[in-house]
Amino acid sequence: MADIKFEITRSMGVLSEGSRGWQKEINLVNWNNRSPKIDIRDWGPEHEKIGKGITLNKAELIKLKELLQDMDLEILEG
């Protein structure tokens, strides 16, 4: 598998942190010298290892924001 090049151009925030120092983060990431996209995934300490995640373009991010805004969070209780 080819090396994947990335550059975190902006850190948007940390959603959670695991006991081994991995953090689930939202970042703006440039993957393989392409246009930056919003990225949600687990990162190892110092960003030396990368877990599975998702990337979203602007249209997808706008749609996700709309869906989350309208979501009834009561369904997650219990």
| pLDDT the model gives residue 74 | 81
> Over the stretch 17-70, which tens digit does the pLDDT of each residue have?
999 999 999 999 999 999 999 999 999 999 989 999 999 999 999 999 999 999
Q: Are the C-beta atoms of residues 14 and 32 closer than 8 Å to each other?
A: no
Confidence of residue 2 (pLDDT cuts 50, 70, 90): low
Task: Report the half-sphere exposure of 47 (CA within 13 A, side-chain side).
Answer: 12
Q: Measured on CA atoms in the order 41, 47, 29, 12, is the torsion positive or negative?
A: positive
Q: In this predicted model, what pLDDT tens digit does every residue of 4-29 receive, in sequence order?
A: 899 999 999 999 999 999 999 999 99
For the segment(s) 6-72, the CATH number from 3.40.190.290, 2.60.120.380, 2.30.31.70, 1.10.3720.10 is 2.30.31.70
Separation between Cα atoms, residue 70 and residue 60, nearest integer Å: 15
d(CA 21, CA 29): 20
Where are the chain's structural domains? 6-72
